[in-house]
Copies of this chain bind each other. A is one copy, B any other.
Amino acid sequence: MGVTKSEFFTKEQNEIATIAKVLGHPARIAILDFIIKLETCGCGDLVKDIGLAQPTISQHLKELKKVGILKGKIEGTSVCYCIDEEKWDSIRNKFNKFLNKNSTENCC
C-alpha cells in the first residue's frame, strides 16, 4: 500500500494529476513566479529569494525539470533556468480544459 494505483485512471487523469502534484508545493510556485519575473534565474538567486537551503531548492528545480516545465542552460559555474514555453502552454490548455468542464445538474 501507500503507492498510487495509476493503472486505475485514464492517461488524461494521470497527466493532469502529475502536473498538479508538481505545482502542489509553494516553493515550486515561488520558483516559477521568480523565474517568470526573470529577476535572474540561477539557483543561488532562488535560494536568496526564497530562503530554503540550496539542496532543497535544487531538489525542487529537479522536480520542475522532470515534468518539463523548466529548462536549464549552463553558463560557466552558474545555470540559467527558464520556463519551457511550449510545455507551459500545454499545461495551460490541460487545466483550462479540465477546469472549464461544468456540471449542469446539481443535487446540493
Contacts and interface: CB of A to CB of B under 8 A. Distances in A.
Contacts of A100: 92
A23 B16 contact: yes
A49 to B, nearest CB: 10
How big is the A interface, by class?
Answer: 35 or more
Copies in the complex: 2
A34 to B, nearest CB: 10
A48 interface: no
Interface string A92-108: 10011011111111111
A107 B9 contact: no
Contacts of A61: none
Given A36-B103, A38-B104, 15 more contacts: A9-B29, A9-B50, A17-B24, A21-B21, A21-B24, A21-B25, A29-B98, A33-B101, A37-B103, A38-B107, A82-B107, A85-B102, A88-B99, A92-B99, A95-B95
